[in-house]
Structure 1
Amino acid sequence: MNKQTVSFHQVDALTEVLPVKNKRKKVGILGGTFNPPHIGHLIIADQVCQQLGLDKIYFMPSANPPHQDEKKAIAASHRVKMVEAAIQDNSLFDIEKSEVERGGKSYTYDTLLQLVKEHPETDYYFIIGGDMVAYLPKWYRIEELLHLVQFVGVNRPGYGLESPYPIIWVDVPSLDISSTLLRTKLETNCPVRYLIPDKTLQYISEKGLYQNADKTE
């Protein structure tokens, strides 16, 4: 039997000609109401993206989050615009509007099932705060969800790093900032510069958002 040999030069040539197959994309998802988005969201997204070597981070505004207490949120269209304004200067950031477009309660399982079907070449990393890790056993269809996504936990002061589920933990700077705090500041005309991205703050000002505590549109 004749044996064929392939030189290193031939291998290099073949590598250049043949497309790379099965190159999977790694995408992080940061969900939330983003009411409003703030620098804490951006820092978390950037730290997870860089530390895990992800290709992209998608900010995913919720239509009606099932795991949070009922609270007033301004119209989803405004929250989407605020997120778009906040992330437009970072090419690694994008927005995922599937939950807003679907409406109703936003169950992560339903969303990820849809995304995996639409993008089978992508591995998804779902980012949650350390305070949410303890609630994972109560999440809708959690056991099936674990087959669709890799959970990424970001540290929160006062919360442990233990979970019965596989979690990738990422250490991020701790900032004592929340959307609830910022809504209160905006409603009472307190300064929020550097806490909310400039372009998002400009949108809030132009639309007169959060000027009235009872305003939901």
Structure 2
Amino acid sequence: MKKVGLLGGTFNPPHIGHLIMANEVKHALRLDEVRLMPTSIPPHKADPSDATPQQRLQMVELAVSGIPGLTASSFEVDRGGVSYTFDTMNALIEQEPEIEFHFIIGGDMIDMLHKWYKIDELMKIVTFVGVGRPGTVGETQYPITMVQIPEIDLSSTLIRNRIETGGTIQFLVPDNIGTFIRQEGLYGTRGLEK
């Protein structure tokens, strides 16, 4: 049976922390592939300078290009609307019943699992994989497979703030993402250094 990891998120923008997480879990659990899957509508209100769902998907596609075993999934962007993991997983399992899915979450999400929509039912249909994140406890009463990865204190918020203040994002995002952000004029791009 093919084993596929799913790393969901807003990816607003994607950064090297996302790539490290996906790659480390892929190798640790010997997954065939890890799909980075941007949400269609983030749970928080979008800022006018934020990327559209299509732009976030394009950035994920750029981020994983040329990295064996990492792919971009347009599943939630194509579906549109607000997606609950439970609904997404049911739809994916129906579409690809031959795949064993592993849903990858960071320490911040591990701490909040008890608040997830239909979490008890979700636990029956997918294997959760947790990775540590700086500043989080990463503990839950739910059964999850923990993978130790090099932790990097990096977030999309930090990157957006850097861009808005004209700071550098070099080495924080792949070069092609920085280029895309400048070309698209995202996040209040002004005087962005390479």
TM-score strictly above 0.5? yes
Task: Summarize the Cα distance change of 1:178–1:80 in structure 2 as closer, same or farther, 3 Å threshold.
Answer: same
* 2:141 counterpart letter in structure 1: P
Q: What SS does structure 2 have at the residue aligned with 1:105?
A: coil
* 1:47 counterpart letter in structure 2: E
Deviation at 1:161, TM superposition (A): 4.4
* 1:164 counterpart letter in structure 2: Q
Structure 2 runs not aligned, ≥5 long? none
| Identity, % of aligned positions | 47
Paired residue for 1:89? 66
Task: Summarize the Cα distance change of 1:157–1:203 in structure 2 as closer, same or farther, 3 Å threshold.
Answer: closer
Could you tell me which of 168, 177, 181 is aligned with 1:200? 177
Structure 1: distance between partners of 2:159 and 2:138: 28
Paired residue for 1:178? 155
Matches within 5 A, 1:36-185: 36-66=13-43, 69-72=44-47, 73-185=50-162
Asked if structure 2 preserves the Cα contact closer than 8 Å seen for 1:85 and 1:199, the reply is yes
Deviation at 1:212, TM superposition (A): 5.6
Q: What SS does structure 2 have at the residue aligned with 1:101?
A: helix
Asked if structure 2 preserves the Cα contact closer than 8 Å seen for 1:28 and 1:124, the reply is yes
Larger Rg: 1
Deviation at 1:53, TM superposition (A): 0.4
Q: What SS does structure 2 have at the residue aligned with 1:147?
A: helix
Asked if structure 2 preserves the Cα contact closer than 8 Å seen for 1:33 and 1:65, the reply is yes
Correspondence 1:211 to 2:188: yes
Asked if structure 2 preserves the Cα contact closer than 8 Å seen for 1:65 and 1:107, the reply is no
Deviation at 1:97, TM superposition (A): 1.1
Structure 1 runs not aligned, ≥5 long? 1-23
Q: What SS does structure 1 have at the residue aligned with 2:68?
A: coil
Paired residue for 2:164? 187
Deviation at 1:102, TM superposition (A): 1.3
- The alignment's TM-score, normalised by the length of structure 2, stands at 0.91
- The alignment's TM-score, normalised by the length of structure 1, stands at 0.82
Aligned residues: 188
* 1:140 counterpart letter in structure 2: Y
Correspondence 1:33 to 2:18: no
Task: Summarize the Cα distance change of 1:148–1:32 in structure 2 as closer, same or farther, 3 Å threshold.
Answer: same
